[in-house]
């Protein structure tokens, strides 16, 4: 596109588009987070115990949809509810 740009050491893209008036500048900014969780344990009742990836308050993800990929390659998309088991794990038989 012919726009001068570079990436910072954190991966942000900085681009400069010259305008007609150099007395005034406009800055546009965007923000992307990588947030997620990793399954630490499948509890005996089918609920998941998660480990955080990124910095967020747990209550902000309650009810959000998550995609879970099993070791067998099966995927499911379900709402994450801390006090409710996910349907795909209610039949999991864990060894004592």
Q: Distance (Å, rounded) from C-alpha 41 to C-alpha 96? A: 13
Share of the chain above pLDDT 90, in %: 0
Q: Distance (Å, rounded) from C-alpha 95 to C-alpha 43? A: 11
pTM metric for this prediction? 0.44
Q: Distance (Å, rounded) from C-alpha 21 to C-alpha 83? A: 57
CATH topology of domain 36-89: Elongation Factor Tu (Ef-tu); domain 3 (2.40.30)
The predicted model gives 70-94 an average pLDDT of 69
pLDDT at 51 over 60: yes
Tell me which residue of 45, 58, 32, 53 sits closest to 94, measured CA to CA.
Answer: 45
* 3-state secondary structure at position 8: coil
* Phi/psi of residue 87, nearest 5 degrees: -50, -40
């Amino acid at each position: 596109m012919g726009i001068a740009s570079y990436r910072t050491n954190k991966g942000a893209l900085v681009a400069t588009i010259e305008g007609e008036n150099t007395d005034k500048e406009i800055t546009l900014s965007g923000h992307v987070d990588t947030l997620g969780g990793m399954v630490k344990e499948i509890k005996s009742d089918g609920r998941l115990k998660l480990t955080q990836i990124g910095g967020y308050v747990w209550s902000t993800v309650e009810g959000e949809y998550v995609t879970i990929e099993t070791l067998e390659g099966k995927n499911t998309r379900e709402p994450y509810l801390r006090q409710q088991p996910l349907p795909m794990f209610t039949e999991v038989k864990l060894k004592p």
